[in-house]
Amino acid sequence: MKKDFLLIKILTKIRGVFKNTSVNFEDLITILSLKLTLDDRKSSAMGMAKKQKLTGMKSNLLMQGFFGLFIGLVMLVPFDLFYKISIITAMDLFFMVMFMISDFSSVLLDTRDKDIILTKPVSLETMNVARLIHVIYYMISLFLALNAISICILTYQYGVKILLGFVIMLVLLSLFIVFVTTILYSILLEQFSGEKLKDIINAFQIMLSVVTIISYQLVGRIFEFVDFEMVIHIRWWTYLLPPAWYASLFKVLVEGDFTRAYVIMAILSVLVPIISGSALIKWILPKYESYLSKLQIEDGVFIPKNSLKERLKQSLYNIVARDHKERAFMKFADANLSRDRKLKLMILPNQALGYVFPLIMILPFISRSNGIQGLLTELNGSLLYMNAYWAIVMFTSNFEFMQYSEKFEASFIYDSFPIEDKRVIFIGAIKAYYIKYMLPGMIFINVLFLFLCGMSSLVGLLIIDVMSFFLLLLRYKMTHLELPFSKEVSSSGNKNPAPVFGLMGLCALVAGAQFLFVKNNVLMGLLVLIVMVIMTQLAYVSLFKRPEKIKQN
Amino acid sequence: MDAVIKMTNLRMRYNDKADYVLKGIDLEIMPGQIIGYIGPNGAGKSTTVKIMLGMIQNYEGDVEIFGENIKTNAVMYKQRIGYVPEVAVIYDSLSGYEYLIFIGELYKLDLKLVEYKAKEMFKLFGIQEALYNRISSYSKGMKQKLLIISSLIHDPDILFFDEPISGLDANSVMVFKEMIKQLSEQGKTIFYSSHIMEVVEKISDRIILLNKGVIAADGDFEMLKEKSKEGSLQDIFNQLTGFNEHEIIAKSLVETIRLNSIGEHDSADTMIQQEV
């Protein structure tokens, strides 16, 4: 462990702060350097094949910096300062809270600390303060990454005075976020136990990643939505919005605008972090450890259900897989896909993108027309449904995630069980993946485009449906994939970009061909459909059913 | 001599609605004893140990260690205790060396001494080549040895061992058993909880059997033997916990394993009835 972290150096300079508290400064430094060392190593443990230069945290900061660039561009638009700061704060709040829940839940909810550190002569206060400082340190880094560019632009526009505003905002906002998240966790921990809670946190993480990923897609279009002539109306609910508090703080501090509403909200921006902070220290922190111990109680119960959904799934499985081994691996893959939290966190946000992408692509066509009726008549018979290929690109490229698992070591069973042909594991996984993730997506897309483009798109959509399975098979063949659930979940969770571009190119080709030669011609469409079904069948058989070629030495 | 550990009417439940896991434990432990702490799964062994380590605070009753109530003096007594947990929780992206230095810093030891002890003990346990490797690359036995070393590096006066020898090879087990014997002769108190009766029988000066949250038996092996008129600690354990159907259950298990089709034999149901 090294000790030359910037944070440690700063803390050593201000050690006087801790003099008259129950916090032991040496322990604090020891624990913090441990935590920072652990953070540094987090992802290098994963990058066995290719050494990553950036650890998870640093690449995260880079991403946020990129987003900060866009916020900075918005700052160039001559809005009122109130709006500018509201936009900044809203973004900061969102990203920082998301960061707290997704990346830092492992820090806030680390039960190892209790077993290792609390059994040593270290007081509970010291450990909790170390935790808080650790979190706040990353909040500040994140704040700077997000706002550096905006700060530069605003300083140019409003003068150096605004820097003071940002310093105050940084302190208050970080405190506010840490306190609010910790209190939120404590409430959740008090209400729910063990597995249930982990599911809730998981759902939170997924939800927030979905929102970020989608907002990354929307960021380029932000100027299309922005109404440039905004007048500030402060209504009663404005007082409930934290971004408005901080914007008011700037109005008061920087522009010297002492309108009553601004003053009240500026006071709120200071008061709320202080109140929530004292509530945290007084009521929550003392109980936090006992809340955490709940996390270790495992209480997931999965009694086989005989519901309609289960029976439907069962009969569907029986139809698509005759071989009992194949069916076993389908059920196995399905159970893993629904329970493995880390895997879900990787798959679901990317999956959501599959639903959203076609919508984003048809957005420009929709905004032009007026009224739903007019829209439908205008779109009827159009080839807009070709945008469904966007969804297929997303869905099929997500198949890559099947390789990962939280408990990847358990894949020893593939070797210890009598499985002659390992392809059966893949085909089980492919079919389970299709039914669980792609089928609902394809149904959604079919319904959507049938509604928008009318019945004439039916044959075209059927071709696309067949193509979705065909392309999934191609994705499997495209690059070498490890056996399902046999790779460690990596912290960055990024896909290998090469197959994504490959699939995109393929889809563009296929969609282009369909666009040029098939259009809405029913006869031609049916012909292509039949050819595609046969081709898919052939691909399926040659990939999985034909005996494996014996490799020559 | 004063007791090093003293519990008075210790009761514990995990929440207000749940049943008590510990239903009033009274216990005095003298220095230099090796206590074999045994009991069936769910008897409350780990809970007792966690309370003594300050990992659980919301218990009822009093616990005194080195003559001081651990609720009011919650920190400093930990300077003199060591702990090997049942499950190997460890910051495993550190190396063994870094982990021990970290522990040494928390105990406020001279780091030169920690370094020397770490090297020496790794060598004596036969794992010196792993000292600077990442813990996540350790085998189960190596992790266990590291946990044992980290519990002893500050020369504590009380040791809490929870299944300390799981994963150790036979030779290391012999070293370990001899080591704790010699430590106890030098006045260390060892609180040893385990499910392996043969080991507990051999090493313990005093055996405490916990069953359903109460102490079912307390005394040295000879005393327990006399009291229950049974041969081995295993038999005493079975008798005191009211378990004597292991042959019947094992037989039903074998029959279930050998089953070729349902209906050929229906002993699975009878077995469950027997167990209840």
Q: Per-domain residue ranges for chain A?
A: 22-32+55-295, 308-544
Residue of B nearest to A290 (CA): B56
Q: Does residue B123 have a pLDDT over 90? A: yes
* Alpha helices by DSSP H, A103-236: 105-108, 112-116, 124-158, 161-191, 194-218, 222-225
CB contact under 8 Å between B75 and A123, yes or no, is yes
Test mutation, A120, A293, A297, chain B, max B CBs within 10 A: A120
A36 close to A5: Cβ distance less than 8 angstroms: yes
pLDDT at A189: 74
Per-residue tokens: B271: 């077995």
Residue A212: what pLDDT? 66
- What is the C-alpha separation between A315 and A323, in angstroms, rounded? 14
Q: Specify the pTM.
A: 0.71
Question: A457: buried, middle or exposed (CB in 10 Å: 19+, 13-18, 0-12)?
Answer: buried
pLDDT given at position B273? 47
Q: List residues of B whose CB lies inside 8 A of any A CB.
A: 14, 53-58, 74-79, 81, 83, 85, 89-91, 93-94, 98, 101-103, 105-108, 134, 136
Q: Closest residue of B to A293, CA-based? A: B56
Report the distance separating Cα A337 and Cα A318, nearest Å.
Answer: 19
Chain pair A-B, CB pairs under 8 angstroms: 71
B135 contact residues in A (CB cutoff 8 A): none
Q: Is the pLDDT of residue B145 over 90?
A: yes
Residue of higher predicted confidence among A288 and A203: A203
Task: Say which residue, A67 or A194, is predicted with more confidence.
Answer: A67
β-pair type (B158-162, B22-29): unpaired
- Is residue B28 pLDDT above 60, yes or no? yes
Cβ–Cβ under 8 Å, residues A267 and A103: no
Mean of per-residue pLDDT scores for chain B: 86
Strand B189-193 and strand B206-211: the pairing is unpaired
For residue B147, the chain A residues in CB contact (below 8 A) are none
Optimal mutation site among B105, B136, B138, interface A, most CBs of chain A within 10 A: B105
Asked which of A193-197, A382-386, A491-495, B187-191 is least confident by mean pLDDT, the reply is: A491-495
Q: In angstroms, rounded to a whole number, what is the distance separating the alpha carbons of residues A163 and A154?
A: 9
**Are A45 and B136 inside 8 Å of each other by CB?**
yes
> Letter for the amino acid at A375?
L
Q: How many CB atoms lie within 10 A of CB A76?
A: 11
- Is residue A234 predicted with pLDDT exceeding 80? no
pLDDT of residue B183: 93
Can you give the pLDDT at residue A296?
Answer: 63
Lowest-confidence segment of A47-51, A100-104, B169-173, B251-255 by average pLDDT: A47-51
Number of Cβ atoms within 10 Å of the Cβ of A294: 18
pLDDT of res. A548:
67
Number of H helices and E strands in chain A, helices first, is 24, 2
Contacts of B78 in chain A (CB under 8 A): 119-122
Share of chain A above pLDDT 90, in %: 7
CB A136 within 8 A of CB A174: yes
| Pick from A126, A150, A200: nearest CA to B78 | A126
- Vertex A314, ends A311 and A318: CA angle to 5°? 140
Q: Is the pLDDT of residue B10 over 70?
A: yes
Q: Is the dihedral of CA B191, B197, B199, B203 positive or negative?
A: positive
Sequence-ordered list of residues with C-beta below 8 angstroms from that of A198, at least 6 positions apart, any chain:
A295, A341
Chain B residues with CB-CB distance to A31 below 8 A: 106
Least confident range of A17-31, B91-105, B126-140: A17-31
Distance CA B35, CA A150 (A): 65
Binding-site residues on chain A for chain B (CB distance < 8 A): 1, 26-27, 30-31, 34, 37-38, 41-42, 45, 111-112, 114-124, 289-290, 293, 297
Would you say B134 and B96 are in contact if contact means Cβ atoms under 8 Å apart? no
Task: Look at strands B206-211 and B214-219 and give their pairing.
Answer: antiparallel
From B73's Cα to the closest Cα of chain A, the distance in A is: 10
Q: Sheet harboring B81-84: ordered strands across?
A: B81-84, B158-162, B189-193, B34-38, B206-211, B214-219
Q: What is the ipTM of this complex?
A: 0.74
Note the pLDDT of residue A220.
53
- Provide the sign of the torsion angle of the four alpha carbons B208, B211, B215, B221, taken in this order: negative
Structure tokens at A141: 């880094």
Q: Quote the CA–CA distance of A170 and A129 in Å, as a whole number.
A: 19
Interval A92-128: pLDDT, tens: 887 787 777 666 666 666 778 878 888 888 888 888 8
- Which range has the top average pLDDT, A126-140, A194-208, B92-106? B92-106
Contact state of B94 with A37 under an 8 Å Cβ cutoff: yes
Residue A372, SS3? helix
Would you state the pLDDT for residue A158? 86
Does residue B41 have a pLDDT over 60? yes
